[in-house]
Structure 1
């Protein structure tokens, strides 16, 4: 599946309509972004069941701001509308492949339960 260009207009819909999305936050002037681009593209060709999306941080400043992107490239993985990974840095192909495998293996019910527990603990600490 070819990569999808995300904008503020299609971002929410893309995440709503797809259970597994890899997002590459990038910019044209960024050397590491250009190095990571073919790795990301190869992953999109290999994992056709996963939406591979790109956000041009120069053209989509609102999205970059909303997700607090401070370094690029930043890779974000969203499963079932839950961000499970969000880290800056260009990954080599083997590392990206390992990350995809780990993301596939996650039990999302367990992830949501942990998030709920952390939210409850944080709320208790504030009271």
Structure 2
């Protein structure tokens, strides 16, 4: 759990994502995307306050079914899920607060146990 550094080239199927329990963030983008690279420090910092949240970093592009099923148009797009249901979304987050807001929606207690 927690922040994932690398984009996975193989995405899970949508039914698998819909069945994921708990707090999950899907991040769609690519390693060569300048906007994606610029957003990484803010994303990593925000995840530091939410270590229990699962972060699935998915390589996206034309013809990639998972990204299309979530209607992803710009990178990076973060989809915040709670028990497989979209609760919030951040498109091209510019700072930590853009990401932290979504994380608070799916993991309001953060690292507290």
If the length of structure 1 is used for normalisation, what is the TM-score? 0.65
User: Where has structure 1 moved over 4 Å in runs of 4 or more?
Assistant: none
Preserved contact between residue 26 and residue 58 of structure 2 (Cα < 8 Å): yes
Number of aligned residue pairs: give it: 105
Deviations 1:1-57 (A, max 9, x none): 342847334664455343111111112232111011222223333311111121111
Instruction: Could you tell me which runs of 5 or more consecutive residues in structure 1 were left unpaired when the two chains were aligned.
Output: 106-127
Preserved contact between residue 25 and residue 79 of structure 2 (Cα < 8 Å): yes
Name which one, 1 or 2, has greater alpha-carbon Rg: 1
Q: Which has the higher contact order (CA 8 A, sep 6+)?
A: 2
Preserved contact between residue 33 and residue 90 of structure 1 (Cα < 8 Å): no
**Is 1:45 aligned to residue 48 of structure 2?**
yes
Deviations 1:71-102 (A, max 9, x none): 11111001011111234222301232233224
Aligned to 1:85: 88
Q: Counting helix residues as a fraction of each chain, which structure ranks higher?
A: 1
